[in-house]
């Protein structure tokens, strides 16, 4: 366990002693993190979670006895604990399994480095994620919004033509995005554009996982592609995903990162402000930091429908909280209900037609 001001206790799970040793050194150099144990397979991981009560588990996927997928599911049932997946991105099956782990309790996926420089990069991102998910878990559980208030907020959304749905997400985002997309109408009268902060190289895997699990047209966006109804396009690594006024998608790899992010949620939202604000719905989901908050506020001021994920269902409430503090929206709901709000817009349009 870890206190509000104490170090974050971490359990490392990997069948390779070498990988465990490297990850231990990486984490022990980071401020405010303490490695309390190691496990060589999923079964040991479950036992160690119960015995050591870590704040965060760092989990491999392919392991003997019990793999990481089964271990995530088991941990979620015996002692729910944030799990960060560390796996190879070279193997498509491993990548797909990593996203499936998110459906069973994992919160984020990181690439297992294959060269020394990769470990240095991981040292710059992994500790921050560990601290963020631990901090979110240690906070007092939020008071759920009363059903009457949630119903009122949904009913406050009037029928409108929504041709573009722009979504931003970070930590915990893949599963939140999946839940939102699953609640949208099967025949979708809009283009969905997604900026998901994720480790480089996992964008294709995310698209394949979402497309396979939802039966939708989900792909990584291509420059110059025309926005089309019913498709979901994900921003590639290293380029801002932008919507132009003529309805085409643009990838900007030349402009600098915004707030440390390229792609940036703010950049996507701001492009929608300049292109088709009144026909856009902006949605900001779980994630640490504040990327997307300024852009969502600009969308709101330009007349767009704006929504955020609520605190109770967020893995990390940073991005939605920042948007709420900027007055970007008053509607905060779980992902499935956000999808229902959007569906209400389109249903209203059909009735008016």
Instruction: Tell me which residues are annotated as active site.
Output: 170, 197, 291
Secondary structure, 3-state, the chain: CCCCCCCEEEEEECCCHHHHHHHHHHHHCCCCEEEEEEECCHHHHHHHHHHHCCCEEEECCCCCCCCHHHHHHHHHHHCCCCEEEEECCCCHHHHHHHHHHHHCCEEEEEECCCCHHHHHHHHHHHHHHHHHHHHHHHCCCCCCCCHHHHHHHHHCCCCCCCCEEEEEECCCHHHHHHHHHHCCCCCCCCEEEEEECCCCCCHHHHHHHHHHHHCCEEEECCCCCECCCCEEEECCCCCEEEECCCCEEEEECCCCCECCECCCHHHHHHHHHHHCHHHEEEEECCCCCCCCHHHHHHHHHCCCEEEEECCCCCCCCHHHHHHHHCCCCCCEECHHHHHHHHHHHHHHHHHHC
């Amino acid at each position: 366990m870890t206190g509000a001001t104490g170090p974050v206790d971490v359990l490392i799970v990997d069948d390779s002693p070498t990988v465990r040793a490297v990850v231990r050194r990486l984490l022990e150099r980071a401020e405010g993190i303490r490695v309390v144990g190691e496990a060589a397979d999923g079964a040991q991981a479950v036992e160690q979670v119960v015995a050591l009560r870590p704040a965060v588990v760092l989990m491999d996927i392919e392991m003997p006895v019990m793999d990481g997928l089964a271990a995530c599911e088991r941990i979620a049932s015996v002692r729910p604990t944030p799990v960060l997946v560390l796996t190879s991105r070279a193997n498509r099956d491993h990548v797909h399994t990593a996203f499936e782990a998110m459906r069973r309790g994992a919160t984020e996926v990181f690439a297992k480095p294959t060269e020394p420089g990769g470990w240095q990069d991981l040292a710059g991102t992994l500790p921050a994620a560990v601290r963020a998910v631990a901090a979110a878990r240690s906070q007092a559980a939020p008071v759920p919004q009363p059903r009457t208030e949630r119903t009122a907020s949904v009913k406050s959304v009037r029928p409108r033509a929504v041709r573009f749905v722009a979504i931003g997400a970070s930590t915990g985002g893949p599963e939140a995005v999946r839940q939102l997309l699953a609640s949208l109408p099967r025949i979708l009268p809009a283009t969905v554009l997604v900026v998901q902060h994720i480790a480089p190289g996992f964008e294709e895997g995310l698209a394949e996982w979402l497309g396979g699990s939802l039966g939708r047209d989900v792909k990584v966006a291509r420059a110059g592609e025309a926005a089309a109804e019913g498709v979901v396009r994900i921003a590639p690594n290293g380029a801002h995903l932008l919507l132009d006024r003529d309805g085409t998608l643009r990838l900007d790899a030349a402009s600098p990162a915004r707030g440390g992010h390229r792609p940036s949620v703010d950049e996507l939202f701001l492009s929608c402000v300049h292109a088709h604000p009144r026909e856009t719905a902006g949605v900001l989901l779980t994630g640490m930091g504040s990327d997307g908050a300024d852009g969502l506020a600009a969308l709101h001021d330009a007349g767009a429908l704006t929504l955020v994920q609520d605190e109770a269902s967020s893995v990390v409430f940073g991005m939605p909280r920042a948007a709420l503090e900027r007055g970007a929206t008053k509607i905060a709901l779980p992902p499935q209900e956000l999808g229902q709000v959007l569906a209400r817009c389109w249903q209203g349009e059909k009735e008016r037609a």
